[in-house]
Chains A and B, each alone.
Chain A
Amino acid sequence: MLEACEITCIKRDRTLFEGISLSVDAGDLLYLRGPNGAGKTSLLRILTGLSAPDSGTVRFNSVDIAVNASAYLSNLVYLGHKSGTNGSLSAIDNLKFWLAQHSANADDDALYETLARIGLVGLEDVPVRYLSAGQQRRVALSRLWLKKASVWVLDEPFTALDTKGVALLEQFMKHHVENGGVVITTSHQALSEEAGRYRVFDLEYRF
């Protein structure tokens, strides 16, 4: 489904990785591993098309995303280090806005239901700034429930989550993969059994 060919990334005149190829198909959970500074985030950003590789191509269903990304983008949810929520807006406002921008439809009931499932009952209308780091992360993660996308690219999704949150997310990742979705994720803690079967891709630190 998603395929990266001979990707090279140079940051600050240091080659992070060179000639990396990987491909994921429906039902794959790819766990990207590597030490700090190995370029995990850079690779994920290249896979989403947020940054361009210095050489190589990324293809979604055999279409180069540098040429035409529209089909890919409507099937993609990316969650980075930054939550993508504005601190002075409430969780509901943030999510509604995000859904509209991403042309994903979800009615208010679905929104409240998702926020309840993810453990944010009663906090829907509080400005996101006043939530704890873990709760803010949950607001960002709720997009996975709300947008029907087959490809999830998650950069350190477990940061700041408590054990219950981690288990919830892992179960949902497993559910997604079993239903023919694709998950590409990085994490500093190893994935637990809740996440089901996964493949590991190791990035090495290069000098």
Chain B
Amino acid sequence: MWKWLHPYAKTERAYQLCITLQPWFWAGACICLVVGTVWGLAFAPQDYQQGDSFRIIYIHVPSAILSMGTYVAMAVAALVGMVWQWRTAYMTMIAMAPIGAVMTFVALFTGAAWGKPMWGAWWVWDARLTSELILLFLYVGVIALYGAFEDKQQAGKAAGVMALVGVVNIPIIHYSVEWWNTLHQGATISKFDNPSIAPEMLWPLLINLLGFALFIGAVTTIRLRNEIVLRELHRPWVQALAQQRLEKEA
């Protein structure tokens, strides 16, 4: 596998890979998101307790799951960068960070909006919402640390260390917050605990989850391309690329 992956440590090859992957990501994301969202919002049955307001899970749950997933992916990229000294790994990591942060924000926002009809308040210190908020802080930390360095190679390494520290902490944070929550709120029923979900509700959810994942992939490839071009502006291959583009436009 390494023989196959290793060429992508070179920025030029990684750039080409992004170009190849991007349309597939976009096509998959569009199809999945349209199918999943329309199915979920219009055709899936109503929840017997929550009525139509439960339908926000088709946005909330995928974004919440993928906000964590993106962070883990960042940590994996950081580890790859650290072990094999790939510059592109750090670039991928930092390309994903703002997307993950936005996903976290979407999860928080939809969670809060869902909480309004359910709890009568925009913000409740529910365990999962709190974990999600702390996750947002972790994202902010990584992005801020990356921004603080002028040498972006160094910045990538530093942000990578922080991403790894964060990923070790995510499970600890998650369980500690959950435990803290039960301690302080007693036995409130968490609306997120769905012991069983009807298959006709679950399918659109899964499709949307895949759609979100592909969407993140698509945006990551765009951001990674940008990052590569910005960082390698002085390299001949980037200049040749720019030249080509200019000629095409002329």
Contact = CB atoms under 8 A, between A and B. Distances in A.
- A joins B in a complex: yes
Contacts of B150: 12
B202 interface: no
Interface size class of B (residues with CB under 8 A): under 10
Interface stretch (B46-54, B95-103, B190-198, B228-236): B228-236
Nearest to A14: B234
Contacts of B249: none
A11 B234 CA distance: 13
Contacts of B231: 13
A14 B151 CA distance: 10
Nearest to B234: A14
B153 interface: yes
B152 interface: yes
Interface residues of A, number: 7
Nearest to B232: A13
Interface string A3-37: 00000001111110000000000000000000000
A151 to B, nearest CB: 26
A80 B170 CA distance: 41
Contacts, number: 17
B144 to A, nearest CB: 19
A15 B152 contact: no
A18 to B, nearest CB: 11
Interface in A28-62: none
Most-contacted residue by chain A among B153, B232, B233 (CB, 10 A): B153
A49 to B, nearest CB: 16
A153 to B, nearest CB: 22
Interface string B222-242: 000000000111100000000
Interface string B149-161: 0111100000000
A12 B234 contact: no
Contact of B151 (A12, A15, A207): A12
B234 A207 contact: yes
A14 to B, nearest CB: 7
Contacts of A13: 151-153, 231-234
Interface string B46-64: 0000000000000000000
Nearest to B233: A13
A13 B154 CA distance: 10
B130 to A, nearest CB: 39
Contacts of B151: 11-13
Contacts of B233: 13
Nearest to A51: B154
Contacts of A10: 153
Interface in B200-250: 231-234
Closest 9 pairs between A and B when the two form their complex, measured CB to CB: A12-B151, A13-B231, A12-B150, A11-B151, A13-B152, A14-B234, A10-B153, A13-B232, A12-B152
Given A11-B151, A11-B153, A13-B152, 14 more contacts: A10-B153, A12-B150, A12-B151, A12-B152, A12-B153, A13-B151, A13-B153, A13-B231, A13-B232, A13-B233, A13-B234, A14-B234, A15-B234, A207-B234
17 contacts: A10-B153, A11-B151, A11-B153, A12-B150, A12-B151, A12-B152, A12-B153, A13-B151, A13-B152, A13-B153, A13-B231, A13-B232, A13-B233, A13-B234, A14-B234, A15-B234, A207-B234
